[in-house]
Amino acid sequence: MLNKIKTYFPKTRSRFLVFIILGIILVCAVTTGAVYDVTSKKIRVHEVDIYKNSDVTRTLRTRQETVEGFLEERDLSVSEYDKMNVSKSDLLIDDMELNIRRGVPVTVVVRGEQKLLSATSATVEEMLAENNILTAEADEITPARGEAVISGMTVTVVSVTSDYVVETTEIPFETVEQEDASLYKGEKKVVTEGVNGTLDTMYHIVWHDGAEISREAVGEAVTLAPVNKVVSVGTKEKVVAVKASTEGAARVNLSSRGDMRYKKKLTVTATAYDTSPAQNGGHSKTALGMTPRFGIVAVDPRVIPLGSRLYVESVDEGGSWVYGYAIAGDTGGAIKGNRIDLCYNTNREANAFGRRSATVYVLE
């Protein structure tokens, strides 16, 4: 019996020691794991690759400090065309979510300027919006907006704009000759100075990237009818020859207005202005919407109604000067009562006119 007890105790002691050692190892393992868990971070990685129809989410643990270190540790490559919700230099935090969208290179040409961009979208339209390239509905996009994005593709955006534009052109006046028995043959006299008219033409114009590609006339209107130049041609036979050196040239005092019907005759003070905006209150159009030019007269509408056809000459029935046929097409702050302002094409002509007395016929 004693021998059995002696034999038992050594075996029991050895077993006890084994249990103690195993316990220590287990405690160390648990402790080490706990320390690792305390210092490690849980990262949720969401990878989307629409071009491979892939959408994967994984939860990984790491003891790395930065996003870049974590990517290298897990062998997660991120190219220059991929997009992440964080920067590689950002610090990692526990329960961090890392979103990676796989992208492809795309070349985009906008207004002739070529750019290499990244695309993570499915269609051309989404790719343009993703890269903050704004387009209008009328713009021409090749390939079309709904086409699928392909790695290495080239997308061209042409800006298309259109508008209606009114352009003014001149209608040249004609010269009309009329026989005048009061003038000798070979003599001519200008009865009425010619005035060019104006024609407004409306065009529908289309531009591609700012360059005009089409122009279509859609309407036109005569805004000012031309006034023909009237020249009297002498028909009178010379009975006695007169030498110019001794007798001088014969003078015929004939009013340049010719035969006309009028409903009002006024004696006024006339001044002159030119076509520049500076002399038109900063405006490029008259009170009736006309372009300032010779033949347009500023009036007081209480005295001479706007739009009236006029004939203007010096008070000596045109003996000193003749302005001719005109239109009451403008007003002016200083044009009050019996005063008019005659438009000349140049500042030199306007200054030369100065201030004069004039006769105005308001024509029927």
Q: What are the tens digits of pLDDT across the range 76-111?
A: 999 999 999 999 999 999 999 999 999 999 999 998
Tell me what pLDDT residue 302 has: 95
41-101 fold: Ubiquitin-like (UB roll) (3.10.20)
Higher confidence at residue 32 or residue 165? 165
> For the purposes of burial, counting CB atoms within 10 Å of the CB of 363, is it exposed (0-12), middle (13-18) or buried (19 or more)?
middle
Task: Give dist(CA 83, CA 50) in Å, integer.
Answer: 13
Query: What's the pTM?
Result: 0.47
Average pLDDT, stretch 224-230?
94
Pairing of strands 339-343, 104-110: unpaired
Structure tokens at 152: 């290495």
Does residue 43 have a pLDDT over 50? yes
Say if domain 260-364 classifies as CATH 2.40.40.10.
yes
Does residue 235 have a pLDDT over 70? yes
Share of the chain above pLDDT 90, in %: 69
Q: What are the tens digits of pLDDT across the range 332-357?
A: 889 999 999 999 999 999 999 999 99
The architecture that CATH gives domain 104-158 is Roll (3.10)
Q: Quote the strand ranges of the chain, DSSP E.
A: 41-49, 54-62, 83-84, 96-101, 104-110, 113-119, 140-142, 154-158, 160-171, 175-184, 188-192, 197-208, 211-224, 229-236, 262-273, 296-298, 309-314, 322-330, 339-343, 356-363
State the average pLDDT for the chain.
86
- CA torsion sign for 213, 216, 222, 228 is positive
Say which residues have a Cβ less than 8 Å from residue 48's Cβ, sequence separation at least 6.
54, 55, 99, 100, 101, 102, 120
Average pLDDT, stretch 273-287?
86
Tell me what pLDDT residue 23 has: 66
Instruction: Locate the domains of the chain by residue range.
Output: 41-101, 104-158, 260-364
Q: Is-same-fold flag (41-101; 104-158)?
A: yes
Tell me what pLDDT residue 18 has: 60
Does residue 166 have a pLDDT over 80? yes
Buried b vs exposed e over 125-158: b needs ≥16 C-beta within 10 Å? bbbbebeeeebeeebebeeebeeebeeebebebb
